[in-house]
Amino acid sequence: MELSLSTSLHSPTTSSFLSKTSTPSPCIHRQNLGSFSTAAPNFPSRVSLKLKKPSVFRHRRGILKNQSSGEIANDEDDGFVLEDVPHLTSFLPDLPSYPNPLKYSQAYAIVKNTFVSPEDVVAQKIVVQKGSRRGVHFRRAGPREKVYFKPEKVRACIVTCGGLCPGINTVIREIVCGLHNMYGVEDVLGIQGGYRGFYSQNTIKLTPKLVNDIHKRGGTFLQTSRGGHDTKKIVDNIQDRGINQVYIIGGDGTHKGALAIYQEVEKRGLQVAVVGIPKTIDNDIAVIDKSFGFDTAVEEAQRAINAAHVEAECVANGVGIVKLMGRYSGFIAMFATLASRDVDCCLVPESPFYLEGQGGLFEYVEQRIKENGHALIVLAEGAGQEYAAQSMHAVNGTDASGNRLLLDVGLWLTQEVKDHFTNVRKMEINLKYIDPTYMIRAIPSNAYDNIYCTLLAQSAVHGTMAGYTGFTVGPVNSRHAYIPINRVTEATNTVKLTDRMWARLLASTNQPSFLQKCEISQERVDKETMEVIDDMRITSI
């Protein structure tokens, strides 16, 4: 079947063919088309067509994956896969579209390509080899020629959930200003106090004037909370208030809630676009390059590390310990260590370590004290939890977001180091412990994060106005894209001990890897790393 791209996906014949061969997926659509160009991207979830191939894609046929069954059908192809996001027309097929107001915007008048082409996608994997598959792609973020909301009929709302993070206020500000300045939307509500604010708190009307300078403050202008998600109550409130655009700022748990809201909205057949803006200071959101606030956190962490270094080097046998955020992912600790160049040892949740014996932490710290007169340790809050639990009173439980309650490994390690050098080595040390956790997450975002938050907010606004829903936004290989929500909640981004970045850290600090002789818990180390460790053990025998 040979179809012309300019007419095929709009022709009655093709529409009939698609309706007979597939039904739209209610959530995520993996598309495998040589090219795609529709005013309303209401694609079926499983399509195999032979299209005239534009040179930009050089596509034959792709891998077809059914999201409900996970079944994959392989053809001879270059492996192009589009992980598409839902569109309102998926469940509201008769929804009318309108010209994008940006077409008449003075700000965009001189832009060469005001609107993103429907064929623009962003590749998840940027480094490929000759003959390798094209792999997974996402829709490029940005304004579309057609919108599915009349600005005067839009009632948007913004909610912030979970912990604090630098940049939240910038995102709030830019959503409000983006809707107002680019699309002429006047009605924007702020939901106070997280998810439970939908049904238990008052809302405030957000205007460009009201949010004008909130980006200069830390925290969230709308307040936040953990937990409190009740899908039915939330959607009831959305429906009762006449809200048709929902902007949700939060992390992994928040996005799971956003997905549930989208699914309930679709079930009820409401013209409501739901979008997530990924927020986590730990940088543990999957797929995207980096979460907002992370750079600010690393920059602020430097102040604590510098202070600890000064304290340690100004006394005899000085030891500085700095605890940084990082429940399951040690990115802040790793990047702050690399940036500092003063750190002797960095401990992260992904890399087990041990204290005593040859090659252990105590031996290494003593060596550094003898060589330099001082030592500096940086550890993430999730590192060494299994060891701390053996000597401290373990707290079994979770917080309102479902996160496991952690022990204070900073205090635990501080006491362990003191006891070892005082009682075992009979060696006097001067130890200083610094925990800047809440100082870091409560500050305003720096210049880079402010710009990044602006791009995230505007990308979200463009996507919702274009009728996309059930998606989140973020940079993939430095290009902003629309990503199915469940892609950022199905896994956690963690430090890979087999990657070059961790090798750079080990080379910078000259610390031991602790892997060969450490009794490693398989649950705390990824499969690839375990294979490398097993090979190391076999080689050493």
Residues carrying an active site annotation: 282
What is the DSSP pairing of strand 318-324 with strand 187-191?
A: unpaired
Contact 26, 266 (CB under 8 A): yes
**Is 529 part of any known ligand binding site?**
no
**Is 325 part of any known ligand binding site?**
yes
Find tokens 């057949």 and name the residue: 269
**Is 139 part of any known ligand binding site?**
no
Tokens of 421: 């050098």
Judged on CB neighbours under 10 Å (0-12, 13-18, 19+), 6 is: exposed
**Is 254 part of any known ligand binding site?**
yes
**Is 387 part of any known ligand binding site?**
no
Query: At 179, which amino acid appears?
Result: L
Find tokens 């809707």 and name the residue: 179
Q: What angle do CA 215, 218, 223 make, to 5 degrees?
A: 95
**Is 327 part of any known ligand binding site?**
yes
**Is 280 part of any known ligand binding site?**
yes
**Is 217 part of any known ligand binding site?**
no
**Is 133 part of any known ligand binding site?**
no
Tokens of 394: 């373990």
CA distances for 250 relative to 166, 230, 278, angstroms: 12, 16, 5
**Is 167 part of any known ligand binding site?**
no
Tokens of 143: 């304004």
**Is 440 part of any known ligand binding site?**
yes
Q: What is the DSSP string of 159-199?
A: EE-SS--TTHHHHHHHHHHHHHHHH---EEEEETTSTTHHH
Q: What angle do CA 247, 215, 325 make, to 5 degrees?
A: 80
> Which phi and psi angles does 265 have, rounded to 5°?
-60, -45
CA distances for 415 relative to 108, 301, 389, 395, 418, angstroms: 60, 22, 14, 19, 5
**Is 289 part of any known ligand binding site?**
no
CA 124 from centre of chain: 14
**Is 326 part of any known ligand binding site?**
yes
**Is 539 part of any known ligand binding site?**
no
**Is 536 part of any known ligand binding site?**
no
**Is 357 part of any known ligand binding site?**
no
Nearest residue to 401 (alpha-carbon basis) of 255, 282, 284: 255
What is the DSSP pairing of strand 245-250 with strand 203-205?
A: unpaired
Nearest residue to 376 (alpha-carbon basis) of 419, 332, 407, 345: 345
Binding residues for substrate: 280-282, 325-327, 381, 438-441
Residues tagged in the binding site annotation: 163, 226-227, 251-254, 280-282, 325-327, 381, 438-441
Residues annotated in the binding site for ATP, as ranges? 163, 226-227, 251-254
Q: Which residues are annotated as a binding site for Mg(2+)?
A: 252
